[in-house]
A and B are shown apart, each in its own frame.
Chain A
Amino acid sequence: MNDTRSILLTGVGGQGTILAAKILSEGLTRMGYDVKMSEIHGMAQRGGSVTSHVRYGSRVDSPVISEGEADILCSFEKLEAFRHLGYIKPEGMLIVNDLEIYPLPVLIGQAAYPDDIASVLKTRHERFQLLSAHTIAVKLGNPRVENIVLLGAVAHYGGFMQFSWEETIRDLVKPAFIDINIKAFYAGAKAASASFGGAS
């Protein structure tokens, strides 16, 4: 019986998906799962779209998530959520950061950013939460911890909240930013539980 579960994080280069995926996979490892994580960097830093695949279970083979296979899709940016929608399971959880980052073709007027992506996503996918991670991060005092706010939401929907995340976060972020990242993590988890109910 294959019990592998899949979490896909998507976003734009520079948003911190890679660190979020790193903390998530390290946490899952410490929970005792077999874990595989895959990501594509390279051109990523230049503002291209980036994805991190995290898979865990008793034995994981492929590090790559196939379409229609993600239990959780967490997108750090709205357009990227739309782009990667095909990856989520019909019953999977879709978490989307309420943030628009215009890609170059939009900036230079060669393409239009789609209108009201959130409403479209809502009609396409039932289990959907829009989260203003940016606002939460700014309230905490550092917009750069947006990624960890989103990670907190992922942990909530993944059902990982019994695990104590402090130590994993402490081991993986820069010493000066440990406290704010821990706060961000729990703020994200709380925002997720407040607006959508308990984890499945």
Chain B
Amino acid sequence: MKQLLTGNEAIARGAYEAGCTVAAAYPGTPSTEILEALSQYKEIYCEWSVNEKVALEVSGGASFAGSRAFCAMKHVGLNVAADPMFTIAYTGINGGLVINTSDEPGMHSSQNEQDNRYYARHAKLPLVVPSDSAQCRDFMLEAYRISETFDTAVLFRTTTRVCHSKSLVELHEPMRVPQRAYTKDLKKNLMTPGNSRPRHVDVEARLVKLAEYAESTPLNFIEEDGNTLGVISTGIAYQYAREVFSDRADYFFIGFSFPLPMKAVRKFCEVHETILVIEENEPFIEDEIRKAGIACLGKDLLPACGELSPKIIADACSHLPEASTYAPSVHSDASLPPRPPALCPGCPHRGIFHVLSKQKNIVASTDIGCYTLGAFPPFSVGDFFFCMGSSITAGIGFKRSDMSCGTETRGVFAIIGDSTFFHSGMTGIADAVYSRTPVVTIILDNRITAMTGHQHNPGTGMTLMGEQAHEIDLGELVRALGVREDHIRKVNPNNLKACSEAVNDALIAQEPFVIIARVPCALLPQVRKRAESKWFQVDAQACTGCRACIRIGCPAITFRDSAAVIEPDICAACGVCFQVCTFKAISMGGNKT
């Protein structure tokens, strides 16, 4: 049977058909939907791990126990998981182990566009790169065979356009893969220096075998028709290349990208007059080809920054007669107002940001989540972040610089979401307590991992598989980490007065201070339901047009004919506008129809 699946759904399908029994992931665009899809197969244990390092360690442990195991993360997540990955590369596996990295050329929802194919070379792991959903499914099955044949974890790399594009996939029955026997084997599994040294030699030998496999794997294929132009491509770029050069070029598709099939590549290059390497972001394949002394076109024509598209490729290769031509871009007016993402109506992050925006002498070390949007107008609360979890620790460093140099008295606030706190914020609190650094941490506990589309986390009381879980209490947690009881404040972020008081107390604290702002995300179904019949309205007579309510950046509030107007269908009845209106022009509305 054929079905239209996204790349992510097809990866999940592939893991299922390959007999995977344990899977772990931390959400992150564009990888999130893989585990969401995989958890639909009830026979597979699936978890949202607290972070990517944990996810890889869980799947690594399962592999050691004899399961076919899987873990998934976005590209930057692999930085977090790099530590276990580099040593799993030495130990090898028991049950097959596939590590999925979803890269993001174009950075639709990411902070950088690092090309994780380099991790394969760096860690000496085989690299599989599909270009559409059918390949996502098929290549997963082959990835498990590679893993078990060569005793290695396999890096499975996709990009946003593969993850989030749908195409047809042929479905098959799942394989039954019994758990492999576990035998204690310290020489292979316990990487003390004495054991690691010989294992490194084994890893090098494994690479030689993998390079031989690369020459015959079905993941690489050639489509030849006697053309003089030879295109070498991989991932989504291959689909774009086919679009641009159609049957006017021959193709070498490289789905097994490390180690490269250099013998076959050399042969392909010998019989083509012009070689063009098309890959998104870095010249990962191209560099190897050039290193082998083969002349080719590639990044001298194509950009390393951003996504490719058929048009970008065609425009860059317009001097090649084989390239199709596209109509020149018609730039629609550059003056159009942009439509950046914004905090939703009723977003519980709004109140805190409103209060903080009134503070003139603070620095906000922010973090990654919906609340990053607080850094932009109308709030402009948020100065920097490095990565998930950096808010508290970067805040400590910032504060310590101020204290060491004795120059500044500014308050340093770390702003972090609940999921991010569990991911990598707890160590920051421990560091703040240990170093007695007076940073103020505001945990925006909206009871869910919102940014990536509502995944559960250790604070929500539910698991990915729909089971009840223990709800870790953030207040108890930070107290256990050593924050003084009277330096922990729990507030309702929709109550501006309470937020203000907490912020003022925090500003004069001489020790780590934690404010836990707890109200569930306005998009959660149960919250929506509660807000359904409630809304606020503006009395146009009483409204003076001062625009104070406009400055909370709520999508439900517009300004028309010198007065504010609240759209009842959009209003989520959080009441923040009601509190900022000093003219009592805003009141609770009647029932919505």
Contacts and interface: CB of A to CB of B under 8 A. Distances in A.
A35 to B, nearest CB: 6
Interface string A59-91: 011111011110000000001101111100110
A82 B378 contact: no
Contacts of B553: 104, 107-108
B558 A107 contact: yes
Interface residues of A, number: 54
Contacts of B453: 41, 45
Interface in B543-558: 547, 550-551, 553-555, 557-558
A64 B569 CA distance: 34
B337 A36 contact: no
A35 B339 contact: no
Contacts of B309: 62, 64, 66
Contacts of A61: 239-240, 242-243
Given A36-B165, A85-B332, A62 B339 contact: no
A61 B131 CA distance: 10
B108 A104 contact: no
Interface string B245-257: 0100000000000
Nearest to B28: A42
B326 interface: yes
A105 B338 CA distance: 7
B201 interface: no
Contacts of A105: 337-338, 340, 377
B166 A25 contact: yes
A67 B336 contact: no
A90 B326 CA distance: 13
B235 to A, nearest CB: 12
Contacts of B4: 25-26, 29, 35, 37
B108 A42 contact: yes
Interface of B: 4, 29-30, 108-109, 132, 160-161, 164-168, 236, 239-240, 242-243, 246, 309-311, 314, 326-333, 336-344, 370, 373, 377-378, 452-453, 523, 547, 550-551, 553-555, 557-559, 569
User: Which of A26, A37, A47, A106 gathers the greatest number of chain B CB atoms within 10 Å?
Assistant: A47
A132 interface: no
Given A13-B341, A29-B4, A36-B166, A104 B327 contact: no
Contacts of B336: 79, 82-83, 114
Contacts of B108: 40, 42-43
A63 B165 contact: yes
A113 interface: yes
B531 to A, nearest CB: 15
Contacts, number: 164
Given A68-B326, A85-B330, A107-B558, A48 B340 contact: yes
27 contacts: A25-B4, A26-B4, A34-B167, A35-B168, A38-B164, A41-B29, A41-B453, A42-B452, A43-B109, A46-B342, A47-B339, A48-B339, A61-B239, A62-B240, A66-B311, A66-B326, A67-B327, A68-B327, A83-B332, A102-B555, A102-B558, A103-B342, A104-B340, A106-B337, A107-B550, A107-B557, A108-B553
B550 A109 contact: yes
Contact of A42 (B29, B331, B377): B29
A110 interface: yes
Interface of A: 2, 12-13, 25-26, 29, 34-49, 60-64, 66-69, 79-80, 82-86, 89-90, 102-114, 143
Contacts of B236: 63
B330 A103 contact: no
Contacts of A80: 339
A84 B344 contact: no
Contact of A111 (B165, B337, B555): B337
User: Which of A47, A63, A84 gathers the greatest number of chain B CB atoms within 10 Å?
Assistant: A63
A47 to B, nearest CB: 5
A86 B109 contact: no
Contacts of B547: 109
B243 A62 contact: yes
Given A107-B557, A109-B547, A143 B310 contact: no
A111 B378 CA distance: 13
Nearest to A50: B339
A52 to B, nearest CB: 10
Given A38-B161, A62-B310, A104-B377, 20 more contacts: A25-B4, A29-B4, A36-B132, A38-B165, A39-B164, A43-B108, A45-B344, A46-B370, A47-B341, A68-B327, A79-B336, A83-B336, A83-B339, A85-B332, A89-B327, A103-B337, A105-B377, A107-B558, A109-B547, A111-B338
B332 A104 contact: no
Given A42-B29, A61-B243, A107 B330 contact: no
B57 to A, nearest CB: 26
Given A35-B168, A67-B327, A143-B569, A49 B550 contact: no
Contacts of A90: 327
Contacts of B326: 66-69
Given A66-B311, A82-B333, A83-B332, A41 B555 contact: no
A86 B331 contact: yes
User: Which of A35, A40, A89 gathers the greatest number of chain B CB atoms within 10 Å?
Assistant: A40
Contacts of A47: 339, 341-342, 344, 555
Contact of B167 (A36, A67, A85, A113): A36
A12 B570 CA distance: 14
A90 B167 CA distance: 28
User: Which of A67, A83, A86 gathers the greatest number of chain B CB atoms within 10 Å?
Assistant: A67
B310 A82 contact: no
Contacts of B339: 12, 47-49, 79-80, 83, 103-104
Contacts of A83: 332, 336, 339
Which 6 A/B pairs are nearest by Cβ-Cβ distance? A42-B109, A68-B327, A46-B341, A111-B337, A63-B165, A66-B311
A94 to B, nearest CB: 12
Nearest to B328: A68
Nearest to B33: A41
A110 B197 CA distance: 62
A46 B454 CA distance: 13
B337 A112 contact: yes
A67 to B, nearest CB: 5
B30 A42 contact: yes
B201 to A, nearest CB: 43
Given A40-B108, A64-B309, A84 B332 contact: yes
User: Which of B165, B236, B331, B557 gathers the greatest number of chain A CB atoms within 10 Å?
Assistant: B165
A67 B332 contact: no
B29 A2 contact: no
A40 B330 CA distance: 22
A108 B377 contact: yes
B337 A113 contact: yes
B550 A68 contact: no
